[in-house]
Structure 1
């Protein structure tokens, strides 16, 4: 049954929050469930492999090479967990990877039908309790406000938790996509209201109620809310397209001019540029350029807009950065390499994926090691 067919009362939401804390065995009143930062040590990375069952074979074939290259780059430093549509798809993916010379030693599979590839948004959110035990949070997913098919993908968190034999925290009364959320790992939360506090996701949830749910389940207390822009794109302006906590004290974003070009308002840009952490310390800001030209797919389609490099993904040994066959690919790579000196920045061509609304961070999801600090 779709999670958005009924809405819970405020009292029911309070029970959910309490249950989440009890489930993880909280021993003291101020202990919280916490989402570790992306750059802590991973057990592995989750991917939902492209298939032809929703949008056809051409769609799959145009983007599949991106998944092969992500897997190739990640397996040297961590496991890669692949959600395959069915057993036949698993066999096909295994052959693809072997033909590409990618070792399967660190590749595992979970068979589960999905609507599409956006595991960041519909997949499991891994959190830790005070005892460092991992659990899976299952936030609601409704296809970015019921814009696209979503019922199959919405089942992925529960399936993954079952496969891993991890506790599940059921938060489906709140529709929150992973790409809409940025945390610094030390209590600060960054997001746009347009992608979370939007009637197409959470029509009966106030900002205070959402803050309480996020605080209890992600371990955040310092909220940086940008207004964003509804209908700016299919996600209603996810924050991970233009601003990321690269480290606990550094926000990677764009120049103010590029942010305006991206669609942010002047007040939003000011809020982002003046953001401070839980201790009121301003963040360091690192600027990545947009592509120098509009993105053109490998099959010759001019998308009519520039590409962002901010949607990168931090692995154990590598940083996967979107590339566009553009002069600024090298510029962005050099900036990120300086920011992550202990990891190798690897460019992954996302031109065809970008035509469908996303980049690297949108299609990856980290699973931290059980004892993340």
Structure 2
């Protein structure tokens, strides 16, 4: 979902579904005081979360149906979710989790190429954050890790979403464990070769991991992802529901290669400053093996030229999703920036089709295409 960052208007307050907070916060607030689930014991073998450009078995998604969360925006968001699902299904299988009462509508809107299941109930559509993080061992093994989703620090109701990761792992028939931290998939980027990046604002935060030191949190992240190094960005605290997820600003392309979405030079808000700091930090960083990181710029759109005027809108090209044979990205109506982003993604992924989608309704919730997808890697 993510979710989150770069180049927003300076006047913006709560982003990333800021309008949703009051709908579910009261019901979710008790989650802040709960303890992590009992661990089932780590799976044997050197399991690691691969980089996202590996081949996938399928993509997992979720169908939103709550007017308490989305209000009058729900039908438009559903249309965007269906568009994303149908587009990905041209390239690889898509399994979409829906509540039993809305599964028929999801099937109608998504069409026959998308598999809709009603056996895994959901609260919302942000599968990147609620779904399992799949790991491989390089020898045909696959397992999954849950990040103990708590509604982005108790900001939204999540009784169903908190169980999605474990239930998907069970459906997929793979071993499952819970990580020793609370977080979301959009909060952590991995290069598949031992290096992670994340924002402190999202994870070193008492609304997820109270009393947990950065060093202990780093160790838990590395254990869960099969990594050995974390590159930290400060991030932005308390300005959006995710507390500034990394996957809307900075992404790994390969071990030793990354990109950062840069704001227009005239943008000076907290997210613009954060993006520039992320670029500076990443450009000076090295991977787990000591390799310098070649950091590329992906120019973000001008918020004065995009179609949406919603104050919570996220216009992140960096929040793209890689599926088998394609790059699925947003386009936002700043024609020059949209075309430049398409050209950049085509250059970075020359063997993939670049699909740019109008996801403006989903963007009003402060998320993008990467936020609503979760890949299951092939083994």
Give the secondary structure class of the aligned counterpart of 2:219: helix
Q: Does 1:44 align with 2:55?
A: no
Listed one character per residue, the Cα deviations across residues 50-95 of structure 1 (whole Å, up to 9, x for unaligned) are 2135335632211122222212221222110101011x32211112
2:321 to 313, 319, 329: 313
Aligned pair in 2 of structure 1 residues 297, 118: CA closer, same or farther (>3 Å)?
A: farther
Could you state the TM-score of these two structures normalised by the residue count of structure 1?
A: 0.85
Could you state the TM-score of these two structures normalised by the residue count of structure 2?
A: 0.84
Once the two structures are TM-superposed, the CA of residue 357 in structure 1 deviates from its matched residue by 1.2
1:359 to 343, 359, 368: 368
2:195 to 176, 183, 188: 188
Give the secondary structure class of the aligned counterpart of 1:136: strand
Give the secondary structure class of the aligned counterpart of 1:36: coil
Contact 1:73 1:318 in 2 (8 A): no
Contact 2:312 2:365 in 1 (8 A): no
Contact 1:191 1:226 in 2 (8 A): yes
Structure 2 match to 1:94: 107
1:25 to 17, 30, 44: 44
Which aligned pairs between 1:62-141 and structure 2 lie closer than 5 A?
A: 62-86=76-100, 88-98=101-111, 103-104=112-113, 107-129=115-137, 131-141=139-149
Contact 1:176 1:196 in 2 (8 A): yes
1:283 and 1:257 map into 2 onto residues whose CA distance is 23
Give the secondary structure class of the aligned counterpart of 2:157: coil
2:222 and 2:190 map into 1 onto residues whose CA distance is 11
Aligned pair in 2 of structure 1 residues 344, 330: CA closer, same or farther (>3 Å)?
A: same
Give the secondary structure class of the aligned counterpart of 1:72: helix
Structure 2: tracts of 5 or more residues without a match: 1-27
Aligned pair in 2 of structure 1 residues 260, 168: CA closer, same or farther (>3 Å)?
A: farther
Structure 2 match to 1:35: 49
Give the secondary structure class of the aligned counterpart of 2:134: strand
Aligned pair in 2 of structure 1 residues 264, 143: CA closer, same or farther (>3 Å)?
A: farther
1:306 and 1:163 map into 2 onto residues whose CA distance is 32
1:282 and 1:344 map into 2 onto residues whose CA distance is 29
Which aligned pairs between 1:198-237 and structure 2 lie closer than 5 A?
A: 198-237=205-244
Which structure exhibits the higher relative contact order, with contacts defined as CA atoms closer than 8 Å and separated by 6 or more residues? 2
Structure 1: tracts of 5 or more residues without a match: 27-31
Once the two structures are TM-superposed, the CA of residue 198 in structure 1 deviates from its matched residue by 0.3
Structure 2 match to 1:333: 342
Give the secondary structure class of the aligned counterpart of 1:208: helix
Contact 1:38 1:366 in 2 (8 A): yes
Once the two structures are TM-superposed, the CA of residue 132 in structure 1 deviates from its matched residue by 3.6
